[in-house]
Structure 1
Amino acid sequence: MAAVGEERLGGGRRASRVTNLPEGGWGWMVVASCFLATICIRAVTRCISMFFVEFQMYFERDYSTTAWIHSMIDCTTMLCAPLGSFLGNRLSCRVTVFLGGLLSSAGLVLSSFASSLEFLYASLGILTGLGYALSYTTSIAMVGKYFNERKALAFGIALSGSGIGTFLLAPAVQLLIEHYSWRGALLILGGFVSNLCVCGALMRPEVTLTDDYNEAIPIEPLVSSQPLSRDQSFFFKAKEEFGFLWIPRFLVLSVSFVFLAFGCSVPVVYLVPYALSVGVEHQHAAFLMSIFGVSGIVGNITFGWITDRTCLKRHRLLSYIVTISMEGLCCVFLPLLHSFQLLVLFSVLYGYFDGAYVALIPVLTSDTVGSTHLASALGVVYFLHAIPYLVSPPIGGKSYSIIVVLHKFFLKSEFPKGVVLCKVDMFERYIIYPLIKNIPEALP
């Protein structure tokens, strides 16, 4: 398998390719930086839903309108993921993550001065989301360039930052809102997210460098040839970089990711408001997000470790099907949960399988396209999540505004959504899975 890809460095130098993946070394520092990046990106994004009540009261808007903020952050993050991959391949992962940290931090700081909900759409939804897009895909792709045998575990540890961050930030954000108002809380979060710049500083490949200027020996060409035009050169580079798009297995997995993204975003966004609607106190409702985060940590790491076992490496796709099946069942039973204790059970189960699913996305993608094309492939995969993330929360919020009572909303929408997830699972189990087994897994 191809190793650490060619990385552009300062002074016009490039990092030479390595035949074998290092399986550790500086790779663990890359895992640590990706871990912190997922805290700053995914955990903070999850905690944005805790501002909904404040936004609703301050701007006198309904849930459907305020939900667009969360949708725009997620949508922009996923929609611009290919841009992050492009810049990571053309510039470097270090520069791209650093630039993303500056943009996302600036977006949160500007949001603290918002005078209207439309201002938040632009600053918090678009600017912060764009910064996240530049940092998220490139940081995950760097992990895949350092590991092969322990790939699932490395991805699991790196992405567990989302759960750990949610566990720590959910009660902290609630306290910040209570003591400093939503403006002060956003300002402090902006400073916290600037740590993405630190993550970018750690994104470097551990390879042998060659100086193209000092060590290159000029050799006369043996055969005269005309250089390719700029358009031809761009075409061949794009064809080589995105050749994985013609892999049937990748296409089938992409369709599966799109279906699942439609169903998995609403419960996370409306868990806290739903808990409040059934009589759970504010601090307890925020604690549900913490439980969700801790359970996601366990799902990230345990599924990563389990699917790295020799006996299960060939069955990672089956593990993925199991996780989405359980997520669907959790959504089916959610309308029946009207107490804090039962919602804790939901947070544990749903968080665990959601964490497993999130960790398996880059693993399955890497198994399909290889580490060389991982950055570009992840950009496409996360791009396909954009539309589901954009429309699902506002549709849920609109249903809430019409029905008024949130538990009725879940009764009307979560049950069909859970049924849809189960149908998607059956479709994948009995149609997609038998098909994929006979499809080539990666590029030659």
Structure 2
Amino acid sequence: MEDLYRCICRVGRVKAETTSKEKTVLGIEQDPVDVIPGPPDGGYGWIVVLASFMCNLMVDGISYSFGVCISDLVLYYGESKGTTAWVGSILTGSTMCAGPLASAFANKFGCRTACITGSIIAAVAFAVSVLCPTITTLMIVYGFIGGIGCGMIYLPAVVCVGYYFETKRSLATGICVCGSGFGAFAFPPLATYLINNYGWKGTNLCFAGIILTCAIFGSLMKPLELKPTNVTTTIQKVPSKTALSWKNFSEDPSETETVYNSVLSVDIKNDVIPPLGRKDIFYSGSLTNLKEFQSQGSLNNYRQSVISTSRSKSKQVCLPKSIGDTLSELLDFSLLKNPVFMVQGISSIFCMIAFYIPFVYIIESAKIEGIEASNASSLLSLIGIVNTVGRILFGFIADSPKVDSLLLFNSCISLTAVSTVLIPFCHTYVTYVIVSISFGIGISGFMSLTSVTLVELLGLDKLTNAFGLIILFRGSAALIGSPMGGALYDATQSYRFSFFVAGGLFAVAAAISFATPFFKTKKTVDKDEALMPINA
């Protein structure tokens, strides 16, 4: 009962039904009390996981299959591969850079509305792209506007799953991100078939119809709601001149003036909790693996802090103010002063410059080596399926307390570097299969371990801010990778240098990330230890 009353006093208003003679002056904030159960960790949450899976499948599937279409676009517009590659890079870059804006929109209107809106924007952009007269307009319509729409689908899908799960977070997140791998597996053959039969314009129209179905899956992202709750308990009267605090209540009733019964009325309306009210929303592991939440009491206290924080944000009526609050949380540039974060940020920039070069050019490289078009496009599918399995596997491995997530993360980047450098030495389908498998393993660890590594290095309180800046860094870097690879091909008439440069960038990223522990100063370590719970 003590814990219940302590919790109520912290987040809301005590409304005592007493006689006029027994009324006590309560010196606490006059706000309603919000009481909700913890996330369901199942039930309807699995429907949300399915919806997120399908959204990930379509958004990443379309992005990863751009390499299948690039040759037709080069012929149609008569531009170089370096110039044409900007279309796909702007699409992927805009998808990531739109993350903070999508978060703000979801915080104001909910994940459901954000996802539906994004699907409509992307569908219109893909459909209108067939009318673009120049490659520049295609960059704007298909790349930039389509990327904004995809970003408004992608981020709400990730956020919504994190809001429905705590202890089963790792499994739920692992399933939904598998959509990305399945998209990379299914879409390249589909794009090849559509290109061969309907051309790139017919393919884009089909993609428009496919991405529009995300509106259906977005409608399944039902938000958690606050429910009206009545709590009855017995409290003691305190002198009217004394402000209410827990110390005012004695275990011995004789030490107070009067003891009386009171009904604590939780008088609230159904309300939607803003997603970014949860500081763990981008964390892909289970909360029970974190030291802060290794007891049920800690989880309950955390949920209450979520509600009080969220409710203060939900009172914002003006759209610019609401979006401004979210953007300030995601893009708090004071984190740039943290050397540990900056090392990881710089490492991510190098990674993302190189990331899409294999996706865009491995098919063309295989064709030059005499591999049939169908087999060449299957390499992307192979990367996709390995990426799918790898994300699930690394998610479970990272949940083990004995695993050094940062070391595993860095090892995956190193494997990606080696795989990319070896692509120019492949001359048969079998060798291309081998490097595709190793590349898929590497990128699966790099993507799935990002949030886990950020929490390990910076703590859960910094995750939202760190994640917002990281996706901004990655989105900006992804813009230049594919065009750079295409420009190198235009200059040398060979993809060898494109892959060598990409592999070198991955290697630099791995070396920088391996150096992260050296930047975690003693001051930072002492601060982390001070924040650690006593019973941890």
TM-score higher than 0.5 here?
A: yes
Between structure 1 and structure 2, the one with the greater Rg is 2
Mapped pair 1:344 → 2:433: yes
Larger CA deviation: 143-152 vs 176-185: 143-152
Q: Deviations over 1:225-282 (max 9, x none)?
A: xxx9x9xx88994697348755545444333322221222211111111111221111
Q: CA deviation at 1:287?
A: 0.8
**Residue of structure 2 aligned with 1:89, choices 101, 107, 110:** 107
What SS class does the counterpart of residue 371 from structure 2 fall into?
coil
**Residue of structure 1 aligned with 2:79, choices 50, 56, 61:** 61
After superposition, the Cα gap between the structure-2 partners of 1:368 and 1:428, relative to the gap in structure 1 and judged at 3 Å, is: closer
Q: CA deviation at 1:18?
A: 4.6
Matches within 5 A, 1:254-273: 254-273=345-364
After superposition, the Cα gap between the structure-2 partners of 1:215 and 1:370, relative to the gap in structure 1 and judged at 3 Å, is: farther
Q: Deviations over 1:136-185 (max 9, x none)?
A: 12221222223344433332221111111121121111111111121111
- 1:11 is aligned to none
After superposition, the Cα gap between the structure-2 partners of 1:378 and 1:27, relative to the gap in structure 1 and judged at 3 Å, is: farther
Q: Is the 8 A contact 2:125 2:146 kept in 1?
A: yes
Q: Deviations over 1:281-330 (max 9, x none)?
A: 11111111111111111111111122123433xx2222211111111111
TM-score (norm 2): 0.69
Q: Is the 8 A contact 1:170 1:289 kept in 2?
A: yes
Q: CA deviation at 1:433?
A: 2.7
Q: Distance in 1 between matches of 2:149 and 2:97?
A: 12
Q: Distance in 2 between matches of 1:94 and 1:236?
A: 20
Q: CA deviation at 1:216?
A: 5.1
Q: Deviations over 1:207-232 (max 9, x none)?
A: 43359xx9459xxxxxxxxxx9x9xx
Q: Distance in 1 between matches of 2:476 and 2:499?
A: 19
Q: Is the 8 A contact 1:241 1:373 kept in 2?
A: no
Q: CA deviation at 1:106?
A: 0.9
Q: Which letter maps to 1:292?
A: I
Q: Which runs of 5+ in 2 are unaligned?
A: 1-31, 230-265, 270-315
Q: Distance in 2 between matches of 1:91 and 1:368?
A: 32
Matches within 5 A, 1:325-404: 325-365=414-454, 377-404=466-493
Q: Distance in 2 between matches of 1:174 and 1:15?
A: 57
Q: Is the 8 A contact 1:43 1:162 kept in 2?
A: yes
Q: Is the 8 A contact 1:137 1:379 kept in 2?
A: no
Mapped pair 1:415 → 2:500: yes
Mapped pair 1:425 → 2:425: no
Q: Is the 8 A contact 1:296 1:352 kept in 2?
A: yes
Q: Distance in 1 between matches of 2:489 and 2:380?
A: 20
TM-score (norm 1): 0.83
Q: CA deviation at 1:20?
A: 4.2
Q: Is the 8 A contact 1:86 1:376 kept in 2?
A: no
- 1:304 is aligned to 395
Q: Distance in 1 between matches of 2:367 and 2:485?
A: 16
After superposition, the Cα gap between the structure-2 partners of 1:20 and 1:120, relative to the gap in structure 1 and judged at 3 Å, is: same
Q: Is the 8 A contact 1:145 1:372 kept in 2?
A: no
- 1:40 is aligned to 58
Identity of aligned residues (%): 25
**Residue of structure 2 aligned with 1:142, choices 132, 142, 160:** 160
After superposition, the Cα gap between the structure-2 partners of 1:373 and 1:204, relative to the gap in structure 1 and judged at 3 Å, is: farther
Q: Is the 8 A contact 1:138 1:375 kept in 2?
A: no
Q: Which letter maps to 1:91?
A: F
Q: Is the 8 A contact 2:331 2:468 kept in 1?
A: no
Q: Is the 8 A contact 2:115 2:153 kept in 1?
A: yes
Mapped pair 1:253 → 2:360: no
Q: Distance in 2 between matches of 1:383 and 1:319?
A: 23
Q: Which letter maps to 2:373?
A: H
After superposition, the Cα gap between the structure-2 partners of 1:17 and 1:35, relative to the gap in structure 1 and judged at 3 Å, is: farther
- 2:329 is aligned to 241
- 1:282 is aligned to 373
Matches within 5 A, 1:104-183: 104-183=122-201
What SS class does the counterpart of residue 165 from structure 2 fall into?
coil
After superposition, the Cα gap between the structure-2 partners of 1:415 and 1:180, relative to the gap in structure 1 and judged at 3 Å, is: closer
What SS class does the counterpart of residue 112 from structure 1 fall into?
helix
- 2:308 is aligned to none
Q: Is the 8 A contact 1:85 1:376 kept in 2?
A: no
Q: Which letter maps to 1:432?
A: T
Larger CA deviation: 358-367 vs 332-341: 358-367
Q: Distance in 2 between matches of 1:368 and 1:153?
A: 22
Q: Is the 8 A contact 1:78 1:133 kept in 2?
A: yes
Q: Distance in 2 between matches of 1:56 and 1:240?
A: 41
Q: CA deviation at 1:115?
A: 3.0
Q: CA RMSD in A?
A: 3.4
Q: Distance in 1 between matches of 2:469 and 2:216?
A: 26
Q: Which letter maps to 2:432?
A: L
Mapped pair 1:322 → 2:411: yes
After superposition, the Cα gap between the structure-2 partners of 1:389 and 1:420, relative to the gap in structure 1 and judged at 3 Å, is: closer
Q: Which runs of 5+ in 1 are unaligned?
A: 1-13, 218-227
- 2:91 is aligned to 73
Aligned residue pairs, count: 412
Q: Distance in 1 between matches of 2:129 and 2:34?
A: 42
- 2:298 is aligned to none
What SS class does the counterpart of residue 449 from structure 2 fall into?
helix
Q: Is the 8 A contact 1:73 1:125 kept in 2?
A: yes
- 2:11 is aligned to none
After superposition, the Cα gap between the structure-2 partners of 1:171 and 1:216, relative to the gap in structure 1 and judged at 3 Å, is: closer
Q: CA deviation at 1:59?
A: 1.5
Q: CA deviation at 1:356?
A: 2.1
After superposition, the Cα gap between the structure-2 partners of 1:184 and 1:160, relative to the gap in structure 1 and judged at 3 Å, is: same
Q: Distance in 1 between matches of 2:226 and 2:147?
A: 35
Q: Which letter maps to 2:517?
A: Y
After superposition, the Cα gap between the structure-2 partners of 1:16 and 1:352, relative to the gap in structure 1 and judged at 3 Å, is: farther
Q: Is the 8 A contact 2:103 2:326 kept in 1?
A: no
- 2:294 is aligned to none
